[in-house]
Each structure stands twice: as C-alpha cells, then as structure tokens.
A and B are shown apart, each in its own frame.
Chain A
Amino acid sequence: MNASTDNARASQTVGSTNTIVHGSALPSLEVPVIDCDSVSIFYDDFRAVHDVNFGCKRNEITALIGPSGCGKSTVLRSFNRMNDLIEGARVEGSITYHGEDIYGPDVDAIEVRRRIGMVFQKPNPFPKSIYDNIAYGPRVNGMKVESMDDLVEEALTKAALWDEVKDKLKQSAFGLSGGQQQRLCIARTIAVQPEVILMDEPCSALDPIATLRIEDLMQELRKDYTIVIVTHNMQQAARVADRTAFFTAEASDTTGDRTGVLVEFGDTATIFESPHDKRTEDYISGRFG
C-alpha cells in the first residue's frame, strides 16, 4: 500500500468520527459479555482500583480511558486473570463472563484466557516462525482442527496480514515490522477462537499509519468479537469505541495512595460530547491529565 492511499484512509477515518451516531442506535443487550460489579483490585494492601461497575456488550468496542495510574490496565488485565501472575494481586467484588464469576472457586484461569484473549502494548510475537506463532494457541489448547494451514490462513486473513506474509510463513516473526507484529499478535489471539479480545494500548508502540490499520481492523473484528481496549489516545477511543469508560485516580485523604475510580461510563458520543461529570469534561477537553 502506498502513502497516498494511507493518507486518504486516515482523513476518511478521522472525518467520519463526527458522523458516527452512537447511543440510541445501539441495541441494548440483556446480559453483558463481561460485567463488573463493585470491583476493587488490590496489590497486597494497596488498593489500585475501587468500586468499578460497568459491562462490556457483545460485538461492541468498549474503550477504557483515563490518565496514567488510573487503573484502566489493571481492570483490563483482571478480565482474563492476567493479574493472577502478579504476586499479591487480589480482586474483590465480581467480574462475570456470561454471568459466570471468572474468579469463582471452580474456574480455570487457563480456560478463561482461551475465551478472553489479549493483545499487549508492545508487540510480543514468539521467537518462532510466523506460521508457528499462529499455530501455537490451537496446539497448546489441543484444538481439533482439520487443517492447521487453513486455520493459519484464516486467522492471518482476519487480521489483515495474510497478503503481506503468505510467502514467508516459515520465516521468523521477528522480521516483521512493528505494525505487522502487532497484527500477527491479533491473528494469534484470533486463532484460538476467543469470544472477547482485550487490547492493552495496542497502538502505543506503533506509528500513525500502523495505528490506523489496527483501528480499521478493530472495526472488522467487532462483527465477530467483543473488544475491550485500553488507550491513552482519546481520539482513538472516539474513533473506534461504541462505549467508553473514563477512569481517574484519586488520592486518599489519609495515606495519599492513588486509587483508580470509574468516573463515568456510557456511549462514546455522550462521554465525548456531553459528559455528565465535570472531571470527564475536564479530561476530554484537555484541562487535566
């Protein structure tokens, strides 16, 4: 793809932001795919996030925004129990997936992660070939697949990477550009056929063109998956998200520790155009954060 088409796509995507009508057009689904009920997250005694309530609906993109240290990544990582890997991390309240508490006593974190995939801030392909990067998930999960080749092609196609890599599937994934690596990571996530894809600032290490490609891709993926994205970039949230949750950090009166709180959650258009909370308005308009 050459630069001029990229620019054309860029302006089109940016321009279309204002015309997307959110809110009333969205179907209100009965049970959210992921639902947080009075969620507090601790690292040992430190309360990182306090009393968060919101839900992510099927085939929607939910954006979590807010200043650094507001706990949005912590919340995202608690959705597929990646926080379990951090010593001392603890979740109070309930996070449910189709009504099932994912921190319930019988729940297997491995199964949760298979259904709720994750794309990380920095592209993290495995030190393997492009093909093996995609095939890794199905293999470790013991998925019964008729043809691994077809599955790899499908995942790469869905991640809009197939045309660029189809002739070098056996080459190391490290040879790809940053943007390609990130799409490879998305393809790798898709390959295990999850229902939800969590994205933790997926574009923060990418240039604007690669960023737009990922954003376009997210709009495509939205048809099949439920996406939750953490982003520092408010324009990105405005461009891609159906609903937005605005978090901020509040210092405790006694200890001075900063705890993340959910300020406002709603349709992206409402959050960006007519926020109910003063803090949201200040952040959106750039007066704070």
Chain B
Amino acid sequence: MSPKSMQEAVHKTVRGRAKGGESSPKSIVFLIILWLAILFALVFLAVLIVTTIVDGWNRLDSRLFTEYPASDPEEAGARPAILGSLWVIGTTAVMTIPLGVAAAIHMEEFANRHHWFSRLIEVNVQNLAAIPAVIYGMLTLGAMGLMGVSNKNQVWVGALALSMLILPVVIIATRESLRAVPAEIRQGSLAVGATPLQTVWRNTLPAAVPGIATGSILALSRALGEAAPLLLLGGLVFLSFDPNGITSGYTTMPIQIFNWTSRPQAGFHELAAAASVLLLVMLLAMNALAIVIRNRYQKRW
C-alpha cells in the first residue's frame, strides 16, 4: 500500500462521520433528546420554585418567624412549626447517627460477611431504605400503643419514626464511606499492633467522617421534609406555644404547610407558599453543607 492510500484509509476510518461517530445525524438527534429531557426537568423545577416564591412573597417577612398559628391569616406565622422542625430533626440526629454509624461499623468491620445472619441483616437494611415513609409512622403508632404511650404528640415519638425512616440511609452511607477507606490502611494499623477496635476508632472511622457527615446530613434533610409519618402520629395540631423539649408537643413545617394548604382562605395559601420557600431554603442549605463537607474533607486515596 502506497503511503498516499495508507493515509487515505487512516483518514477514512479515524474520522467519526465514517462510522456514525459523534457528529453523525443519529448521534445529534440522540443528544438533542437528552438535552430536552434535562430541560424538561429544569423548567419544571424552575416553574415550581418561581410560582411558590411569587405566591408567598408577600408573607416572607418577620411574621412568619415570630407569630403563632391563628384563625386570621394576617396574624398567623410558623414559629412553633419552625422550632418544632428543629427539635424533631435535632432529636432524630442524636438518635440516628450514633446508632447508624455503630451498626455500619459492625456490619462492615466486624461481622462475618458470609454468615447467613449477616446477609439477612444486610438484605433487610437495603429493603428498609425503600419502604414508604408512612409505614414507619404506622409502625411507631403500633409500638406506642403496645408501650401504652397515649400522648403521641411528643417530639421524641416523631423523632423515633423519622429515625427509623433514615436509619437505613445512614447505615448505607456510613458503610460506603468505611468501604472507601483502603484495606491497606487497616492492615498498616494492625501491623503495628493495634487492635481491630483501635484501628476502627483511630484510623478507619476518622477517615470516613466526611462521608458519614455528608450521608447523615442528606438523610436528615429528607426527614426534615417528611410529613406523612408525623401526620399519623398526631403531628397535625394547633400549637400556640414553643416546643421546648423532647417530651413537648410539636408540629413541623411540612405539616404546617399541609394544614394551611387545606384551608379555604387565600391568605393561608400565601402563608403556605412562604413557609414552603423557607423549608426549601433550609433543605438547600443542608444539602450545600453536605456538598461543602464532601468537597473539602473527602480524601482521595
């Protein structure tokens, strides 16, 4: 083959168009379809956010934070719901994170992975993560009935339901970040005479903390936006005081929004929109924090 024809042959095969590469009509049509799919999602989201902000704009003021629910939408605010959300989420975090991290450490670092019991738990955790939130509300309701707790509108009862809801998520996130710590690090630790527990406590776990923090924050932000299980647990109440402890009565922002939306007066609908914007901002802030932690502290091995 002459150098010239060789060059031509190479030219023909290497260039994309010859084989239906990136610039062929087929690929371009496919690319456009992908773009439209993304556009649809983004437009939908933007419309939702913009209309909510427009609806709630007039009520996005200090009254939202300072006032208690009232029969007159002009005088009503979400103060107890905001505080209630903070109490419930705080309690959920305290209940879930230590338990979830401990469970994940056991499963990842100590349990015999091939034992049938470990596998059973593993499959269970995976499945629990996919169970609808309302089921956890029913479960907690049943448990409270068995325990003879008649007043279910308490912060810790709501937190218990949310805790069960996000426990599988925390466990899975923690396991993932523990697994990301290379085996060589554990071996290095054991090789200088550290016990397996010391290895976890001083080496593996600290290295996994950024991932655990990120996963936990994302899980908590899911719990923050959850209304269904709390509705079952009597979270839908008219509260005229600040929740102030784990046995206090409470309502949360999603429930308050749900409540206001179902009222006939337009004023309450504005209020619901304003509270939604606030909830959205809180969720975005939590997710942003998770991303910051991930980007700043996550280790590259």
Which B residues touch A114, using CB under 8 A?
A: 192-193
Give chain A residues whose Cβ lies under 8 Å from the Cβ of B203: 126-127, 136
B188 in the interface, Cβ–Cβ < 8 Å?
yes
Interface residue ranges, B against A (CB under 8 Å): 112, 114, 182, 184-185, 187-195, 198, 202-203, 206-207, 299
Is A120 a contact partner of B193 (Cβ separation < 8 A)? no
Q: Which residue of chain B lies nearest to A185 when distances are taken between CB atoms in the complex? A: B188
Task: Knowing A117-B191, A124-B188, A126-B185 are in contact, say whether A140-B202 is a contact too (CB < 8 A).
Answer: yes
Q: How far is the CB of B119 from chain A (nearest CB, A)?
A: 14
Tell me whether B299 and A188 are in contact (CB under 8 A): no
In the assembled complex, the CB of A61 is this many whole angstroms from the nearest CB of chain B, namely: 19
* Number of A-B residue pairs with CB-CB distance less than 8 Å in the complex they form: 71
Please report A residues at the B interface, Cβ cutoff 8 Å: 80, 82, 85, 87, 110-111, 113-114, 117-118, 120, 122, 124-127, 136-137, 139-141, 174, 185, 188-189, 191-192
Report yes or no: A113 in contact with B191, Cβ–Cβ below 8 A.
yes
Q: What residues of A have a CB within 8 angstroms of the CB of B193 in the complex? A: 110-111, 113-114, 137, 140-141, 192
Known: A126-B188, A127-B185, A127-B207. A140 touches B194 (CB 8 A): yes
Min distance, Cβ B287 to any Cβ of chain A, angstroms: 26
User: Given A120-B184, A126-B203, are A136 and B191 also a contact pair (CB < 8 Å)?
Assistant: no
Closest to A127 in B: B207
| Chain B contacts for A85, CB-based, 8 A | 187, 190
Q: Judging by beta carbons under 8 Å apart, are A136 and B185 in contact? A: no
Where chain B touches its partner, the secondary structure class is helix
Q: Which 5 residue pairs are nearest across A and B when measured between Cβ atoms? A: A114-B193, A137-B192, A124-B184, A118-B191, A140-B194
**Cα distance A127–B182 in the bound complex, in angstroms:** 11
14 contacts between A and B (CB under 8 A): A87-B112, A111-B193, A113-B192, A120-B187, A122-B184, A124-B185, A124-B188, A136-B192, A137-B194, A139-B202, A141-B192, A185-B188, A188-B188, A188-B192
Q: Are A80 and B192 in contact (CB under 8 A)?
A: no
B276 to chain A, nearest CB (A): 41
CB-defined contacts of A87 to chain B, threshold 8 Å:
112, 114
**A80 CB contacts on chain B under 8 angstroms:** 191
Q: Which residue of A lies closest to B192 (CB)?
A: A137
Cα–Cα, bound, A136→B190 (Å): 11
CB nearest neighbor in B for A192: B192
Q: Is the CB of B187 within 8 A of A136?
A: no
Min C-beta distance of A122 to chain B, whole Å: 6
In the complex the two chains form, what is the Cα distance from A113 to B192 in whole Å?
Answer: 6
B115 CB, min distance to chain A CBs, angstroms:
11
Q: How far is the CA of A124 from the CA of B202 in the complex (A)?
A: 15
What is the distance, in angstroms, from A167's C-beta to the closest C-beta of chain B? 24
A122 proximity list for chain B (CB < 8 A): 184
Complex CA–CA separation, A14 to B190 (angstroms):
35
Q: Give the shortest distance, in Å, between A79 (CB) and chain B (any CB).
A: 11
Alpha-carbon separation in the docked complex, A127 to B192 (Å): 15
Q: Given the known inter-chain contacts A110-B195, A136-B202, please indicate yes or no for A82 contacting B185, CB distance below 8 A.
A: no
List the B side residues contacting A192 at CB < 8 Å.
Answer: 192-193
Pick from B112, B182, B195, B207: contact of A124, CB under 8 Å: B182
Chain B minimum-CB-distance residue to A118: B191
Q: Are A189 and B192 in contact (CB under 8 A)?
A: yes
Shortest Cβ distance from A138 into B: residue:
B192
A47 to B175 alpha-carbon distance, docked (Å): 33
Checking A111, A117, A174 against B192 with a beta-carbon cut-off of 8 angstroms, the contacting residue is A117
A110 to B197, CA, bound (A): 12
For the complex, give the distance between the alpha carbons of A87 and B112 in Å: 9
Q: In the complex, A122→B206 CA distance in Å?
A: 21
CA distance A125 to B301 in the complex (A): 11
Known: A80-B191, A140-B195. 8 other contacts (CB 8 A): A82-B190, A82-B191, A120-B188, A126-B189, A136-B194, A141-B193, A189-B192, A192-B193
B189 near A189 with CB under 8 A, answer no
Complex: chain A residue closest to B184, CB-CB: A124
Alpha-carbon distance between A85 and B112 when the two chains are bound, in angstroms: 11
Measured between beta carbons, the chain A residues less than 8 angstroms from B191 are: 80, 82, 113, 117-118, 120, 189
Please give, as numbers and ranges, the residues of chain B lying within 8 Å of A188 by CB-CB distance: 188, 192
Partner of B187 from the list A124, A139, A140, A141 (CB cut-off 8 Å) is A124
Complex Cα distance, B193 from A114, in Å, reads 4
Contact A127 B184 (CB under 8 A): no
Please measure, in the bound complex, the distance between the C-alpha atom of A188 and the C-alpha atom of B194, giving whole angstroms.
12
Q: How far is the CB of A279 from chain B (nearest CB, A)?
A: 32
**A113, B185: Cβ atoms closer than 8 Å:** no
A140 engages B192 (CB within 8 Å): yes
B188 touches A127 (CB 8 A): no
How far, in angstroms, from A120 to B185 measured CA to CA in the complex?
10
For the complex, what is the distance from the CA of A115 to the CA of B57, rounded to whole Å? 70
Tell me the minimal C-beta distance from A140 to chain B in angstroms. 4
Q: Which residues of A contact B187 (CB under 8 A)?
A: 82, 85, 118, 120, 124
Complex partner residue of A127 from B114, B190, B195, B299, CB under 8 angstroms: B299
Q: How far is the CB of B297 from chain A (nearest CB, A)?
A: 11
A127 to B301, CA, bound (A): 9
Q: A139 — nearest CB in chain B belongs to which residue?
A: B202
Task: Looking at the assembled complex, report how far the CB atom of A200 sits from the nearest CB atom of chain B, in whole angstroms.
Answer: 10
Residue of A nearest to B201 (CB): A140
Residues of A within 8 A of B112 (CB): 87
